[in-house]
Amino acid sequence: MSQNETLFARAQRVIPGGVNSPVRAFRAVGGTPRFITRGEGAHIVDADGKRYIDYIGSWGPMILGHGHPAVLEAVQKAALDGFSFGAPTEREVELAEEILGLVPSCEQIRLVSSGTEATMSAIRLARGATQRSKFIKFEGCYHGHTDALLVKAGSGLATFGHPTSAGVPEATAQHTIVLEYNNVAQLDEAFALHGPELACVIVEPIAGNMNFVRASVPFMTRLRELCRRHGALLVLDEVMTGFRVGLRSAQGLYADLIPGFVPDISVFGKVIGGGMPLAAFGASREIMRHLAPLGGVYQAGTLSGNPVATACGLATLREIRKPGFFDALSAKTRRLVDGLKRVADENGVPFSVDSEGGMFGFFLMSELPQNYTTVMTTDKERFNRFFHAMLDAGVYLAPALYEAGFVSAAHTDADIDATLEAARQALR
């Protein structure tokens, strides 16, 4: 047995499924998950000593690559001062100021420890601010594993959602309305039916858990209009896209395309922690005043604003603010996806690609899908064969058809060339 197989067998005896987050188990693609021992720049090394070009990057946070010197220095210095205090630190303030300086839609922000915690708190805040209970989410968008968000569509727009996980009571799902992503007609109908009862709509501007699917401009424009008209708050989940698709995040991209576009509440994670457990949600002062200790919406966390995590996040944000960073990162990502498309075309394989900043996606179909239903028609078995061929060649892609990929500043032309040659052989 390989070391990976030995570790996986050992892990399954003490951890459910052998993993602490389901996608890591390789159930979607088959085979044995790789147990990673270290990361170096754009590469990771597994327990058998095999080296891979890493296009997961811890599912997005490692925008600088693994072990960036400035980040390591900041984290080591912070660790020497203390791991956790359960009391305020100046670095929390610095990180909040750094984020707010890049996000005009937010005047205040609250730091938490995970994206799930941030989206859960954002919805509670929206409900508290509006004194309403119902909210809309979209099929294929993932906002964490909170009960009310683990919900699939009901039988029609007049009905509410159904739990997608055991342990979630039907009663918890009764306030969640699930619509099709990018479907403007469904938006109009849902607001006509439920407008006065809606606290908020939560949406990923680029959905990263059905691979990579953008919200269309007409869809996002109408969503913004309807929320304003009916007094519902627009919650933009940028846990994945925040500071990953651009310095102004995805909301900056849509602000350039839609006059007056601004979310009411923004949720961030991943990049703002630089690989440490850290996330945040923010809004105007008027909305944030409802949050404890100022208002009646309760939220708390012992490790919120952790001094080591904030040091990691602050160092990361300061690096990505440097001139030309996103131009270079975007060019690398585009070179990768254009190359994958070219190689697929050479081999007569249906293939479509998209990217923004350091985030990308590809589909084994001739056109980019616009919603979850279409994504689900992808040739899963062909993807699984492609995934394992790439893995064997030393290229580590997401072990699931429905996950976006990530490029870091540490990826070189040589890394991308090696990836494209591996893809050429795999698709052949």
Residue 405, phi then psi, degrees to nearest 5: -115, 165
| CA atoms of 170 and 147, how far apart (whole Å) | 10
Closest by Cα among 330, 350, 333 to 341: 350
pLDDT computed for residue 154 by the predictor:
62
Give me the tens of pLDDT residue by residue for the chain, a chain 428 residues long. Answer: 899 999 999 999 999 999 999 999 999 999 999 999 999 999 999 999 999 999 999 999 999 999 999 999 999 999 999 999 999 999 999 999 999 999 999 999 999 999 999 999 999 999 999 999 999 999 999 999 999 999 887 655 555 678 889 998 888 888 999 999 999 999 999 999 999 999 999 999 999 999 999 999 999 999 999 999 999 999 999 999 999 999 999 999 999 999 999 999 999 999 999 999 999 999 999 999 999 999 999 999 999 999 999 999 999 999 999 999 999 999 999 999 999 999 999 999 999 999 999 999 999 999 999 999 999 999 999 999 999 999 999 999 999 988 999 999 999 999 999 999 999 999 99
From 52, 55, 137, 142, active-site residue:
142
| pLDDT number for residue 172 | 84
Q: Which of 46, 237, 264, 415 is catalytic?
A: 237
Among candidate residues 214, 278, 201, 276, the one with its CA nearest the CA of residue 241: 214
Query: What's the CATH number for 3-67+323-427?
Result: 3.90.1150.10
Pairing of strands 213-214, 162-163: unpaired
The CATH number of domain 69-320, selected from 3.40.50.720, 3.40.640.10, 1.10.10.10, 3.20.20.450: 3.40.640.10
**pLDDT of res. 156:** 59
- What pLDDT does 241 receive? 98
Q: Helices marked H in 135-216 — which ranges?
A: 170-173, 184-194
Q: Is 142 a catalytic residue?
A: yes
pTM over 0.75: yes
Spot the catalytic one: 270, 332, 396, 402. Answer: 270
Tokens 């210095």 belong to 77
pLDDT of residue 155: 52
Cβ neighbours, 10 Å, residue 346: 11
Domain ranges of the chain: 3-67+323-427, 69-320
Q: DSSP string of 60-92?
A: TT-TT-BT-HHHHHHHHHHHHH-S--SS--HHH
